[in-house]
Structure 1
Amino acid sequence: MGDKAPKTIMTDQDHPISKVIEEVFPNSCHRLWLWCISKNASSHLGGLNANVEFHVLFYKCMHGCES
C-alpha cells in the first residue's frame, strides 16, 4: 500500500481483529460491514422488531448516512 495505512478497514464483528486493527492502524477507521449489522440486528432489537416506524428509521440510518 505504498507505506500508507488504510483510511478505513471494514470487517465483521470479530473482537480480536478489532483489537489488532486498533493497535496496528491507530489512525484508521474501523467499520463493520452493513451486511453483518443487518444480519444480526433483529436478534438484538427485541420488541422493536414489530415496530414498523422503527424499521423505517433504522433503514434510513443504515442506508442514508455517510458518517
Structure 2
Amino acid sequence: MTEMSTTKENFTVKDVAKYLNRSETTIYNMLNNNELPGIKLGGKWIIRKKDLDEFLNQKLAEQQN
C-alpha cells in the first residue's frame, strides 16, 4: 500500500479517513452532516485538499481558544 500523496488536490473518503486516522464511516457521517466540507459528484464524495486544510486549521484554532 502506498502513502497518500500530499500533492493531490482532491481526496476521496478513503484518503481522508487514512489521513485523519478515522474510519470511512466517520468521514461519511461528517460529510453528510455538513461537518466536513466536500462535494458529491456522481455518487462519490470529493474533498478538496484546500478545504480540508482550512477545516483542520479552523478546528485547531477553536481548540486553542
TM-score surpassing 0.5? no
Q: With the length of structure 2 as denominator, give the TM-score of the two structures.
A: 0.31
Structure ID, larger Rg: 1
